[in-house]
Structure 1
Amino acid sequence: MDVRRARERYRGGDPAAGIETRHAFSFGPHYDPDNLRFGAVIACNEERLAPGAGFDEHPHRHTEIVTWVVEGELTHRDSTGRETVVRPGDVQRLSAASGVRHVERNAGERPLTFLQMWLAPLEPGGDPHYEVVRAVTDSTPYALPEAGATLHVRRMAAGERTAVPDAAYVYVHVVRGEVLLAGEELGPGDAARLTDAKDVEAVAATAPAELLLWEMAAR
């Protein structure tokens, strides 16, 4: 298990424009050849947007982009013609495939915090695809077969336990609260990368605790 603390993330974004970003992996000008990916995950960015701030239209290719809103509302528009508002508890997925362009903004009056995770597809190409699954529950895994991955959401009361999937790769991100993962204390923004996970448990030390777990097959 490789633990990465929130304070160790690369700082990015444009604070003067109301954009603050924390990168968990090598990203843009923050190049780290030893931290390019884990399993299918190639980026895990914590984004904080002030009201009115956002990312102007920009392109993506050959990437599965999954977004989880922590607080506030994210307004999304893309070249497939979709325009949606994503709220806490929703899973947004944009499959860039052969190419897509999109805009992401905080059109609300409150600060916006969201987590955006990029996964490498098993095969490049195809047609862009977009969807939002509203109010994802703990008992409903979100499958991403294009990347050989499944997202699990865990919300726990203090003292509650949850099993970590047995898998070749598991990426665990703490959204809120504090948890014990295989005896290691993790707080908000901390992450753990598990290889060949088996019989691993997470225990909530405080409530509410919220975890995102990517279960990934060997590639």
Structure 2
Amino acid sequence: MSTLLTPRVDIRRSADRFATKIAWLDSKHSFSFGHHYDQDNTHHGLLLVNNDDVVRPGTGFDTHPHRDMEIVTWVLQGSLVHQDSTGHSGIIYPGLAQRMTAGRGILHSEKNDSWRLEGEKHTDPVHFVQMWVVPDEARVTPGYEQLEIDAELLGGGLVPVASGMDKHDGEAAIRIRNRHAGLYAARLQPGGSVTLPDAPFVHLFVARGAVDLEGSGPLGTGDAVRFTATGGQRVTATEPAEILVWEMHATIAG
């Protein structure tokens, strides 16, 4: 596929993202989302949504539906309580990978109820990134999976978070229903670096901190880069940083 594509490195700055700011939510959208629509910014590869959300304590997303989507949630600060119509529930916190398969239809809610962890009320917001990729097939049975990978992140390298690719069998923390996509996370200390995958489509998101991208220069919190038909660049932290990287070997048709 990469031979049919024009190599490109497309840097998207944090301040240029769509924004939704209401009393309980501060959300930044890397792609068209909700009433924010740009026909030239609907996806990259298989990634449709990369929402950077901050939710006030005691509030959150009430029960709402999803269908035919693989949804991965990655918490940066605080804790998020998930409940869904299939009976699954869990508390998502930093270092814990979570995937929800919407399949033929699911209802779920997500709330900042972090005080449940300690038995007393806290005033901290919950900060998380939620990412959606399309599945290989529609109308599958809805599902849910979570797994802690905090220990693996201590190594400073790219750690598989969620993947459907064969190369991650037995390695990725959680499985998604797309054999062409995989998500990695890395926590980097200053001077630490990782090499990006080489794939037809790669998406780099700086969830927090600052890094230097080989050949392109500095990136800060909220910045993203969309790579087409290229990869292998080094990403080096210039201050403590956390990055999320999608490797994708297909794109959405049309």
Whole-angstrom distance in 1 between the partners of 2:60 and 2:94? 18
User: Within 5 Å, which residues of 2 pair with 1:184-199?
Assistant: 184-199=217-232
| Residue 144 (structure 1) aligned to one of 157, 163, 170 | 163
Whole-angstrom distance in 2 between the partners of 1:149 and 1:143? 9
| Residue 88 (structure 1) aligned to one of 87, 91, 94 | 94
Whole-angstrom distance in 1 between the partners of 2:148 and 2:186? 16
Whole-angstrom distance in 2 between the partners of 1:9 and 1:45? 10
Whole-angstrom distance in 1 between the partners of 2:65 and 2:246? 25
Q: Equivalent residue of 2:99, what SS? A: strand
Cα deviations by residue, 1:94-122 (Å, 9 ceiling, x for unpaired)? 01011100000001222111100011112
Which residue type is aligned with residue 237 of structure 2? A
Q: 2:97·2:162 contact (CA, 8 Å) conserved in 1?
A: no
Structure with max Cα Rg = 2
Which residue matches 1:179? 211
Question: Aligned pair 1:217/2:249, yes or no?
Answer: yes
Which residue type is aligned with residue 197 of structure 2? P
Which residue matches 2:198? 166
Which residue type is aligned with residue 188 of structure 2? M
Whole-angstrom distance in 1 between the partners of 2:136 and 2:46? 9
Which residue type is aligned with residue 249 of structure 2? A
Cα deviations by residue, 1:38-66 (Å, 9 ceiling, x for unpaired)? 01100111111111110110000011100
Q: Equivalent residue of 2:94, what SS? A: coil
Whole-angstrom distance in 1 between the partners of 2:52 and 2:160? 22
Which residue matches 2:79? 73
Shift of 1:184: 2.3
Q: Structure 1 length normalisation: TM-score?
A: 0.94
Whole-angstrom distance in 1 between the partners of 2:199 and 2:149? 26
Q: Structure 2 length normalisation: TM-score?
A: 0.82
- Structure 1, 132-141 or 91-100: larger mean CA deviation: 132-141
Which residue matches 1:21? 27
Shift of 1:11: 1.1
User: Within 5 Å, which residues of 2 pair with 1:27-42?
Assistant: 27-42=33-48
| Residue 58 (structure 2) aligned to one of 52, 56, 70 | 52
Shift of 1:89: 1.0
Shift of 1:142: 2.9
Which residue type is aligned with residue 112 of structure 2? N
Cα deviations by residue, 1:157-180 (Å, 9 ceiling, x for unpaired)? 211221000111111111121111
Which residue matches 1:125? 139
- Structure 1, 74-83 or 195-204: larger mean CA deviation: 195-204
Segments of structure 2 that go 5 or more residues without pairing to the other structure are 1-8, 115-121, 165-176
State the 4+ residue runs in structure 1 displaced beyond 6 angstroms.
none
Identity of aligned residues (%): 41
Whole-angstrom distance in 1 between the partners of 2:64 and 2:250? 31
CA RMSD, 1 decimal: 1.3
